[in-house]
Amino acid sequence: MTLQTTYDLVGIKEDISDVISNIAPTKTPFQTSIRDESVDNTFFQWQEDDLAAVGSNAQVDGFDVQRPQVSALSTPGTYVGTLAAVATVMRSNYTQILQKTIRVSGTADRVRKYGRDKELAYQKAKRSAELKRDLEHAFVGLAQTATAGNASTARLLASASSQIDASVRVTNGSATALTENMILTANQNLYNAGSDASIIMCKPADSLVIANFAYRASGAERRRDVGDSTRIINAVDFYRSPFGEQRVVLNRFINTGHCIIYDPDQWRKVVLRPWFQETLGKTGDNTAVLLAGEYSLKHRNFKASSFINNLT
């Protein structure tokens, strides 16, 4: 009797998993960490203020109010100040339009498919996730400046790195690896400016560098709470320095040359038009859907965050 094997069969049912696995990352930690704020125009402004520098201030008993002096005087009982008040600083940014367009034929949406029912619904979910990633890229992946745009040029929002004052940055003259001293310098700059940053956001490769801060250059290990002795732990979730404790957050979309140290309360995701979908007019046997939104970014005080640049 002839043996019939699967190699001889015709019409074997296909064994295709009815699941589509999308491994592309969708977490957007910078957006997630900050709050939203609505605006009513494509161009919006806000003001920054600061306190006067400290100075000698000692008055005699029963002193009379005096006109502030132009020059600083060290004589006790003399008010030290300036005639001119320090003006506020006006900041501004533009909103940026992001969009994805989906076009699916009637047949493609009707035929039976593995992994999904309606092709249009599947594509909308996929493109929506892509828009969220694109906005994160605009916030921290790019280093673009605010651009007004015109009829042929798109408006651009100012990225996070463009909204951080030069006095609190750590600027490397050439490409170099992240060091602990850079983070300490950035934190010292922020402390001197009066800021309390709570997050260190970096690319995945730099998270490994921060994890190795636990080892001194001499090879002596710093104090670590390892806990379960059957596990190997080489991760740093929090970094504590003389300037406070900060959470270490990885971001796949951050500019690979940057490490941002920031206070999330000082940032706002600005919304002019939240994400929306619009079905476009029929031009044939297909359905077209527009997904779009208009957003920007606001740093409430340019000295409230720092970033380290030119990292390898």
SS3 per-residue string spanning 6-25:
HHHCCCCCCCCCCCCCCCCC
4 pLDDT exceeds 90?
no
On the question of pLDDT at 230 being above 70, the answer is no
* Domains contained in the chain, CATH given: 29-47+89-308 (3.90.1690)
Q: Which of 69-78, 178-187, 219-228, 235-244 has the lowest mean pLDDT?
A: 69-78
CA distance 143 to 35: 21
Average pLDDT of the chain, as a whole number:
86
Q: What is the pLDDT of residues 266-276, one digit of tens each?
A: 999 999 999 99
Give the distance, in angstroms, between the CA of residue 255 and the centroid of all CA atoms in the same chain.
Answer: 10
What percent of the chain lies above the pLDDT cut of 90? 61
Q: Is the pLDDT of residue 181 over 60?
A: yes
Which residues share a beta bridge with 229?
Answer: none
**pLDDT of 9-65, one tens digit each?**
666 666 655 665 666 778 899 999 999 999 999 999 999 988 877 778 778 888 777
pTM value is 0.84
Find, among 133, 198, 139, the residue nearest to 164 by Cα.
139
The Cα 190–Cα 305 span in angstroms is 7
Cβ-contact 132, 295 below 8 angstroms: no
> Which string of b and e fits 248-277 if b means at least 16 CB within 10 Å?
bbebbbbbebbbbbbbbebbbbbbbeeeee
